[in-house]
Chains A and B, each alone.
Chain A
Amino acid sequence: MSVATQAPFPVSRGLAIALAAAGPVAVGGILAARAHDASPMLAAPAIVFGVVAATGPALYIATAAAGNAPPLAAVIRAFGVALGAFGIALAGLILPAAFLSLSSVSAATTLIATSGTVAIAGYLGLRRLATELKAQSPDAGIRPSLTGGMVFLVWAVATAAIAGRLWWDLAVEVVS
C-alpha cells in the first residue's frame, strides 16, 4: 500500500502547511533568543518557501523533459504533502532543539541544534516528496526509471545545498 493512497497526515493538510510556515519561525525564534535579534524569525520561513518556489519548477521541467513527470497537479500536490511533512517533523523536533539551545551558554550548541533540526526536517520532507512522486507515477502511466531518479537526486542535492548555505550564513551571522 503506497503512502500516497492514504490520508497523508494525522492532521489536516492545511494545518500541516501552517506548521511548515510556523516551524521555521520557531526555529528562527531560538536563534533570535540567543542573539537578541528578531530577523531570523522572518528570514527562516523566507528561505524555506523561497528556495522551494525557486527550485520547484525546475524539478517539474526536468522530469517532464525526461519523460518521468506526473501531471502538474499531482506534482503540486506532492510538494504540498512534502511541505506538510517538513512542518510536522519540525513541530516534533522544535522542543528538543529549544531545550538543547537554552540549557547551554554556548552559541555553538544553538547553531548545531537549530541547524540539525532544520536539516532532519528537510531530509524528511525531501524523502516524502520522493515517495509521493513515485506513488503518483503509475497513475500517470509512468514507470520508475534511473533517469527520473537521477534527476530527482540532483535536484534534491542542489535544493538542499542552496537552502543549507542560506541558512548557515544567516545562523552564523546572527549568532556570532
Chain B
Amino acid sequence: MIAAVDTTPTPAPRPSLGMIDLLLRDREAMLARIRQGADLAAIMRTMIATIAVTMAIVGAALGSYRGGVQIAYAAAKLPLVLLGTAALSAPALSAIGAALGRRSRLTADLALVMSALAFGALLLVACTPLIMLGRSVELDYHRMILAVVAMFAASGGAALRMIWRGVELEAAPGWRTAVVGLCVVFSLVGGQLSWALRPYLLRPRAPEPMFIRDVEDSLFDSIAGSMRSARGIYVRDAAPLGEPAP
C-alpha cells in the first residue's frame, strides 16, 4: 500500500502556473526564454490572463472603498487600462529599436512587455491586503490615494526594471533610447487611458458612479488647466470664487 503511494507520479504543474512561478522566482530564466523565442504564444496567453485576473482583483479591492457597483466597474476597467496601454505602447519599443538598428521582434518584445507588466500586476495583487486593511480601518480618502499611488509606483518600477534588463541583455544598438521611448509612450498612453476610464477609487459617500464618462479634455489639458487655476487664471465662465472678506 505504502509502495503504491510512493510510486504514484506527482502531477506536473500546469504549464501556465509553472510560467507564473518562473516569473516570480527566476526572472533571468524567463527573460532567457523570451530571448530564445521559445513558446512566445503560450507566454503571451499566460501573461495576458495573469494581468486580466490580477488587475481585476486589484480593481475590485479599490472599488470596495466606495462599495456597491463600483467594485464591478473598477474590476472591469483596471485590466482594460493595463492591457490596452500595453497593446498601444509595446510596438514603440520594437519600432524605436529597429529604427536605431536593434534586431527587434515584435512578438518577443510584446511578450517581454506583457511579462514585465504581469510581474508588476502580481506585485500589486500582493498589496491587495493592504488596500483592504486601509478600507477596514477607514483610512481617509487622501491617505488611501497616496498609499495606492505608492503601491502602483513600486510595482511599475519593478516592471520597468524587468523590461530594462530584458532589453539590456541584447546589448543592441539604441537599446537605451528604445526603453526610454517605451517609458515615455507608456506613461502618456497609460495616463490618458486611465484618465478616460476613471474613477477607480471613490469616496464612500460619492454619488452613484458611471462606468465611462463622455470624451472630454485629456489628462494633460486638465493638468494645464489646474496649473492656470493655481495662478489665478480661470478660463471658465463660472469659475468657483471665494467668499468676500467681511
Contacts and interface: CB of A to CB of B under 8 A. Distances in A.
Q: Do A and B interact with each other, yes or no?
A: yes
Interface of A: 3, 6, 8-11, 85-86, 88-93, 95-96, 99-100, 103-106, 108-109, 112, 120-121, 124-125, 127-128, 131
Contact of A131 (B105, B173, B217, B220): B173
Given A93-B96, A99-B192, A106-B217, 18 more contacts: A10-B104, A11-B98, A88-B95, A89-B96, A90-B95, A92-B93, A92-B96, A95-B88, A95-B91, A96-B92, A96-B188, A100-B218, A104-B192, A120-B181, A124-B99, A124-B100, A127-B174, A128-B101
Given A106-B218, A128-B101, A99 B189 contact: yes
B88 A92 contact: no
B192 to A, nearest CB: 6
16 contacts: A6-B101, A10-B98, A10-B103, A85-B99, A88-B98, A90-B95, A92-B95, A92-B96, A95-B88, A96-B88, A96-B189, A100-B192, A105-B216, A120-B181, A127-B100, A131-B100
Contacts of B103: 6, 10
Contacts, number: 94
A93 B88 CA distance: 9
Nearest to B93: A92
B100 A103 contact: no
Contacts of A104: 192, 215-218, 221
Contacts of A92: 91-96, 98
Interface residues of B, number: 31
Interface of B: 88-89, 91-96, 98-101, 103-105, 173-174, 177, 181, 185, 188-189, 192-193, 196, 215-218, 220-221
Say whether chain A's binding surface is mostly helix, strand, loop, or mixed: helix
Contacts of A103: 192-193, 196, 215, 218
Nearest to B94: A92
A109 to B, nearest CB: 4
Q: List 6 A-B pairs, minimum CB-CB distance, nearest first.
A: A92-B95, A3-B101, A104-B218, A85-B99, A89-B99, A124-B99
Contact of B221 (A86, A95, A106, A131): A106
A17 B89 CA distance: 22
Contacts of A6: 101, 103
Contacts of B99: 85-86, 88-89, 121, 124-125, 128
Contacts of B105: 10
A124 B174 CA distance: 10
Residue of B92, B103, B217 with most chain A CB atoms under a 10 A cut-off? B92
A129 to B, nearest CB: 11
Contacts of A109: 217-218, 220-221
B218 A93 contact: no
Contacts of A85: 98-100
Nearest to A5: B101
B101 A93 contact: no
